[in-house]
Amino acid sequence: MFCPKCGAILLPKTKDGKKVLACSCGYTDRKGEMNTTMQEKVQKKEEIEVVDKEVETNPIAEVECPKCGHGRAFYWFVQTRAADEPATRFNKCEKCKHIWRDYS
């Protein structure tokens, strides 16, 4: 419940031996005794799994690695120069993880 005066939440307090809902502004609920109980339920959370393996989300292209000669590599584009020039394509070898640039 909320306080009709200030809109804050009413908290349970003991007043004259009775439990009533009261606000910090001084308002108390005049309905008499409070018959509700407050209870918190804690649910067991699942443990977080740590993944040691690196997962690539970039697309794969048929490009030969200059370091190991493997024929497939992940690629992505980055705008490294002015906006009127084409973006630079970066490749990462699927096998040896070598990264190189492709300016074409």
Catalytic positions: 84-85
End-to-end distance of the chain based on CA atoms, in angstroms? 66
Torsional sign, CA 9, 14, 16, 20: positive
The three-state secondary structure class of 59 is: coil
22 in Cβ contact with 10 (< 8 Å): yes
4 in Cβ contact with 23 (< 8 Å): no
